[in-house]
Structure 1
Amino acid sequence: MNIKKLSFLVIVSLICSCSNDKGSTIITIKNSLEFEREFETVELSKSDLNIENLDNICILNTETNTLEVVQTVDNDDDGNLDVVLFQPKIKANATAKYEVVLIPESEQTETQEWCYSRFVPERTDDYAWENNRVAFRTFGPVAQKMIEDGVKGGTLTSGMDAWLKRVEYPIINKWYARGVIEKGAYHKDIGEGLDNFHVGVSRGVGGIAVKTDSTYSVSKNFTAWKTITTGPIRTSFILDYADWDANGKVIKERKHISLDYGQNLTRFNVELSGTDKVSVGLTSHKKDGEVTTNKEEGWMSYWEPFDDSELGQGVIITNPKRIIAFDNYLTDRKDESNLYVQSNVSRAFEYYAGFGWKKSGQFETKTDWNNYLSRFSNCLQNPLEVNVVTPSK
């Protein structure tokens, strides 16, 4: 991992001396939609930029003459940086230009790790992740074994838990530290939010299932984890699962999970075999929420009363053409009521899932939340158009 941000003063002194003598690499980004776009991550590889080493790379906004916040990532854990990330802000129907500049690492300053994740052994074996807007966690093999052995305090689920934060700064380490001192302390809101979202065996916010006739089969807890990156723009990690049974089918599952700055939705890229159909779920809790589905745009929403506030959950299927059906599955069995979207699946399947809590001040109404999902989907279907022109060598 390498996290970088530079001050304007550094730019003034170093831009001229550190640019490529044979010409600069220019990145042109076009927004073809009718609204301004921000908090969308552009990802560029070494081959995209025609550069062999990303250690000193920075990106200059040519209009404002300021440097973008960037994050470089070693995706394959081979010790070499593979991609650079940044989030341009581009007006409606507009184009923006950026220049790649090289600045010595000694002149760079670190930025805030807004996007963070880690394994949490002090709370059994959770894996938790967050950005400046939302936080999540899910549960590992020790928590599963505790349930299977009848030990109090375990958790058996592959559902995704939501931590309802209402501050921008990171809270994962702080809340877990409170939990060590006082058991369950993060179930109380002392001004930052709390964990009052019940998962149980439900799908939580975006867990998956395989449907056979009218029955849904699910995996158990994750068995292994691997953190890829944390930083100002993205955290990403991998969760592996033991093979699981879906009415005689052996399902193999691995999740590549990432969360970017400024977004309420986690991206799930799932490697899946043993089935050609998969369902993504949102827990229905007390079954008193309002369901909205939009097959054309590829999303579903569940807006519910939630303690002294309201909560919206949502799923967006990256490729809406794969959607088969929606199912508001209600049952008397504890925690098994979920709103599902079923989709065709090949070896890899991508979707986004997340939430918006009214008390955070991010969304006031169901309409606000649904509009967010619709706009997010619109951006997925009309990605920023990125063109890179590199100097000849």
Structure 2
Amino acid sequence: MNKISFFCLICAIDCIVVNSLHAQNSIQIKNVLEFSRNEVVAIPVSDLKSFLTKNKETDFRIKDSNNKYFPIQWIDYDGDGENDELLFQANIEAKKTNSYTIVADSKVQVPESKLTTYSRLVPERADDYTWENDKIAFRMYGSKGQQEALQGIKGSTLSSGVDIWLKRTDQPIINKWYKGYLTDPMYYHKDTRGEGYDPYQVGNSRGTGGIGVWKNDSLQVSQNFVTSKTIAEGPLRTVFELTYNPWSEFGVKETKRISLDLGSNFSKFESNFESEKQVLNYTIGITLHKNEGEAKLNDKSGYYLHWEKIDDAFVGEGIVVDPKIVEKSVAFKSKTPDQSNLLVVTKPKNKLVYYAGFAWQKSGQIQTQKDWEVLLQKQSQIIANPLLIKIK
């Protein structure tokens, strides 16, 4: 073989290698909906094997066509020490496809996000479990709080309902508010710092997204969670699990996995069930408080709206679920405190997945009930039409 032929052969091989690497390291994400979407994208590590067999996870970077690099987050869901998913946030216009490139470059620093998600168990106030992102915050109540409530200790809560914290800052507030609570138990119940507060009454209602079994116009519910486990907290997604002692006449055992993504007004709830007896249904609820707000039910699209005034501003709460699993819905009003709830009755499956969330007028995210309904409508379409991800 002469030198020219050898040189051509080498060039051909190089070309093949470059093209092969390019084909393996390109991510295309398509938005099929009529509105733009700014969402956290999750890519299974198994889809990245061709890249990770040759490169380290620590060198992994993602950039767009303008050479802009993105914050990323790895998550190990099962705790085996091996990451299961890679997360990054994509902003894609309506009916458009964005292309991203995976590169291995330890010299490029992964950008830090100015915003974040966060969750933790809070032993300094009984044992709440609290979680937040840049838009919203929630909490649920643990077994110590239950024991204190049964003992009549003031400030404790016996409930498996979901509390919401009204925040109007994109910065984390959980640690700050609980630190203030240690010296002033009313610290986060007053909006004196311009960050928001917690005026939301849960009691034995479902709060925003608690569940139960609906039978004979009565809701059978669990008591407080008994164990918690933080799975992930980071710039793009926080994930944790709660377990409950058997509840209801059906002997339901429940493990609830909850996640919240950056930029979203909705937590994702995934409840896994086992039961001693055949369950009639699993029902998701939103408290109607004193029945002074407005409820709107949409079984066809799978979204459910409550709009109410709390103190001097309005709050929209909502549930979004796959309409195929819904049996019926009702705005159930009762004269018994905490028993008025918007109820979404679903078919009894071993796993129930739904989204529950809210928006506060003072946060600037919404101003009217229509604004809130639009967010719910979009969330229902997002669930039905996930972003299409192709790795080449």
Q: Same fold by TM-score, threshold 0.5 exceeded?
A: yes
Deviation (angstroms), 1:180: 0.7
Over 3 Å counting, the alpha-carbon distance change for 1:189 and 1:264 in structure 2 is same
Match for residue 23 of structure 1 among 21, 24, 27: 21
1:37 counterpart letter in structure 2: R
2-structure distance, mates of 1:303, 1:312:
5
Paired position in structure 1 for 2:10: none
Paired position in structure 1 for 2:60: 57
Match for residue 341 of structure 1 among 344, 348, 358: 344
1-structure distance, mates of 2:208, 2:107:
39
Which region of structure 1 is more displaced relative to structure 2, 137-146 or 50-59? 50-59
Deviation (angstroms), 1:113: 5.6
Paired position in structure 2 for 1:42: 41
1:197 counterpart letter in structure 2: Y
1-structure distance, mates of 2:110, 2:101:
17
2-structure distance, mates of 1:188, 1:94:
44
2-structure distance, mates of 1:20, 1:267:
40
2-structure distance, mates of 1:144, 1:358:
32
Q: Deviations over 1:168-205 (max 9, x none)?
A: 10001011111112122110102110010010011001
Asked if the contact 1:55/1:105 (under 8 Å) is kept, the reply is no
The size of the alignment, in residue pairs, is 366
Q: Deviations over 1:85-132 (max 9, x none)?
A: 112111111111111112328944543461000110001110000000
- Give structure 1 stretches of 5+ with no counterpart: 1-18
Asked if the contact 1:240/1:254 (under 8 Å) is kept, the reply is yes
1-structure distance, mates of 2:348, 2:40:
25
- Tell me, yes or no, if structure 1 residue 237 matches structure 2 residue 240: yes
Paired position in structure 1 for 2:100: 98
Paired position in structure 2 for 1:133: 135
* TM norm structure 1: 0.90
DSSP-derived class of the 1:279 partner: strand
2-structure distance, mates of 1:183, 1:240:
27
Asked if the contact 2:33/2:95 (under 8 Å) is kept, the reply is yes
- Tell me, yes or no, if structure 1 residue 300 matches structure 2 residue 304: yes
Paired position in structure 1 for 2:231: 228
Paired position in structure 1 for 2:273: 272
2:43 counterpart letter in structure 1: L
Asked if the contact 2:115/2:170 (under 8 Å) is kept, the reply is no
1-structure distance, mates of 2:349, 2:73:
31
Asked if the contact 2:32/2:96 (under 8 Å) is kept, the reply is yes
Asked if the contact 1:268/1:351 (under 8 Å) is kept, the reply is yes
Paired position in structure 2 for 1:168: 170
- Tell me, yes or no, if structure 1 residue 327 matches structure 2 residue 303: no
Larger Rg: 2
- Give structure 2 stretches of 5+ with no counterpart: 1-16
Paired position in structure 1 for 2:258: 257
2-structure distance, mates of 1:145, 1:210:
23
1-structure distance, mates of 2:57, 2:326:
39
1:23 counterpart letter in structure 2: L
Deviation (angstroms), 1:276: 5.1
After TM superposition, the structure 1 = structure 2 runs for residues 307-318 of structure 1, keeping only pairs within 5 Å, are: 307-317=311-321
DSSP-derived class of the 2:177 partner: helix
Deviation (angstroms), 1:301: 0.3
Which region of structure 1 is more displaced relative to structure 2, 104-113 or 149-158? 104-113
2-structure distance, mates of 1:108, 1:264:
26
- Tell me, yes or no, if structure 1 residue 206 matches structure 2 residue 206: no
1-structure distance, mates of 2:281, 2:251:
13
DSSP-derived class of the 1:202 partner: coil
Q: Deviations over 1:36-66 (max 9, x none)?
A: 111x22111121112355333221112x211
> C-alpha root-mean-square deviation of aligned residues, in Å?
1.7
Q: Deviations over 1:277-325 (max 9, x none)?
A: 11100011121111111112101000012110111100001x2111111
Asked if the contact 2:71/2:110 (under 8 Å) is kept, the reply is no
Taking only the aligned residue pairs, the percentage that are identical comes to 40
Paired position in structure 1 for 2:386: 383
Paired position in structure 2 for 1:32: 32
DSSP-derived class of the 1:368 partner: helix
